[in-house]
Structure 1
Amino acid sequence: MLELDSESHSNQSSETGSQAGTACVKSCDESVPSRDGDRKQNGKMNGGTAKKTRGAKPKPHESKLYDNLVPAYQALWPAVARRRILHNVNSLNIAAGTKVLEVGVGTGLSLDAYPRHADITGVDLSESMLSEAEDLIEQRGWDHISVQPMNAEKLTFEDASFDLVTSFHTISVVSHPERMMRELVRVCRPGGKILVINHFRSPNPLIARVVDSAGSLTRHLGWRTDLNVDELLNELPIQVMRCQKSNPLSLFRVLIAERKA
């Protein structure tokens, strides 16, 4: 149901930065916090888009850091990475009826990249960010999109549930990136596509050492700089179609893979 656009290998944005995606910041063995009866007072959350009561204060995320980052995230995100995401999603030529899962959807600022003729599900562990995504979905009238809280390292969907699985600037903020990557592959159908945009450790030893030196600081901010893409993809049932930077100066790589049978 998806095709790769041959032009997706060129003319990409060189903006840098990172999304404070929060699909999972704790071990996947920890459960998603209670939501007062699945938010019966505020509308549906699990299995659809909740209608948030205006003025109601959303429950805090397990990490208060990300709740506090929501305003800055919304202000900085368009300038940091949005154009790169729009370009790469558009390059996939998503067909009508395609079932798409975005893991680490955050406040939903990448959701307008998807065509209205697709069926979009977004998941994130931060309910504060999902609350903002719900408002955006309601404001735009996006009846083809729903969001729900979920742990990226332990997705509750059945195997092979989606035609396309995406994740942007999220896998480097989870506790166990390899578990998250296995989950992305598991819920993707054979022949389906996986699109990940993220910072990965440079294969250049000098650059890698320089970036690694900032690791102690970035870990306090919730993300890691030493994620090795080869180790992440090791022994997974996928065929990597593309894994490269949009340009030599970019900090991020675009990974496009196809799930094998």
Structure 2
Amino acid sequence: MELHAVKASYARWAPVYDRTFGAITSVGRQRAVDYINDLTAEKILEVGVGTGLALPNYRSDLKVTGIDFSEEMLAKARAKVETLGLDHVQDLRQMDARTLDFPDASFDVVAAMHIISVVPEPERVMAEMARVSRPGGVIVITNHFARETGLLARIERIAAPFANLLGWHSDFEVSTVLGQPDLSVIEQNSLPPAGMMTFLVLQKGK
């Protein structure tokens, strides 16, 4: 997707995101945060933090930084942090995920929940997430990936030309996120609803 389309899409969705896409993706988001909370980790980066739906669920001793390109989404995330007193959230910053403004090996865990099929140049975003992960750290992804066969695969192909309007790529291939040479898959599972979402954990080589 083009950056202007992403910006316009999420400005449009921000007021209703929690009740629409946020509700549909809640299982994947909770699965990702539960996994992160079970790790021996301290510094967490959430790429595409959106309206901050996951922020209240992180362990209170973690140090969470969130970034998003959409100021409208970030405004809602900041309101959640203030209203709920989320002291474990260290920073929420407007940022392009293709050029993360953090040094190499800054984070124990990088999370990307339902955003990798939205961003422009997803391969470049994956490279940046790998760069800011420490050696031995993990990247936790939840996302919809295209199916190869069946009715849903046909629906995904039909919807693909409307990516800019929908705000995501219905025909997004999992191979797009698996091309980083320093990352290896350590977990990959299907998630509800109807196995449409995938939970994926990649580990950076030590």
Normalising by structure 1, we get a TM-score of 0.71
Structure 2 regions of 5+ residues with no counterpart?
Answer: none
Show the counterpart of 2:83.
139
AA at the equivalent of 2:52? G
Q: 1:1-261 residue pairs with structure 2 within 5 A?
A: 26=3, 63-92=7-36, 93-95=38-40, 98-145=42-89, 146-204=91-149, 207-246=152-191, 249-261=194-206
Change (3 A) 1:140 1:153: same
AA at the equivalent of 1:159? D
- Helix, strand or coil at the partner of 1:250: coil
Change (3 A) 1:99 1:25: farther
Structure 1 regions of 5+ residues with no counterpart?
Answer: 1-23, 28-60
Change (3 A) 1:231 1:136: closer
Does the aligned pair in 2 maintain the 1:182–1:236 contact within 8 Å?
A: no
| Cα displacement (A) at 1:62 | 7.7
- CA offsets 1:218-242 (integer angstroms, 9 cap, x no match): 3322211222212431243112011
**How many residue pairs get matched?**
204
AA at the equivalent of 1:118? L
- Helix, strand or coil at the partner of 2:97: coil
Query: Counterparts of 2:30 and 2:161 in 1: how far apart (Å)?
Result: 31
Does the aligned pair in 2 maintain the 1:101–1:121 contact within 8 Å?
A: yes
Query: Counterparts of 1:144 and 1:25 in 2: how far apart (Å)?
Result: 33
Query: Counterparts of 1:208 and 1:229 in 2: how far apart (Å)?
Result: 14
Does the aligned pair in 2 maintain the 1:98–1:163 contact within 8 Å?
A: yes
Show the counterpart of 1:6.
none
| Cα displacement (A) at 1:88 | 2.9
- Helix, strand or coil at the partner of 2:3: coil
Percentage of pairs with the same residue: 35
**Structure with a larger share of its residues in helix:** 2
Does the aligned pair in 1 maintain the 2:123–2:179 contact within 8 Å?
A: no
Aligned alpha-carbon RMSD (Å): 2.3
- CA offsets 1:126-172 (integer angstroms, 9 cap, x no match): 11111111111011111220201010111111111000000111111
More displaced 10-residue stretch of structure 1: 193-202 or 245-254: 245-254
AA at the equivalent of 1:189? R
- Helix, strand or coil at the partner of 1:91: helix
- CA offsets 1:211-260 (integer angstroms, 9 cap, x no match): 11111123322211222212431243112011231258221111111111
| Cα displacement (A) at 1:208 | 3.0
| Cα displacement (A) at 1:25 | 5.2
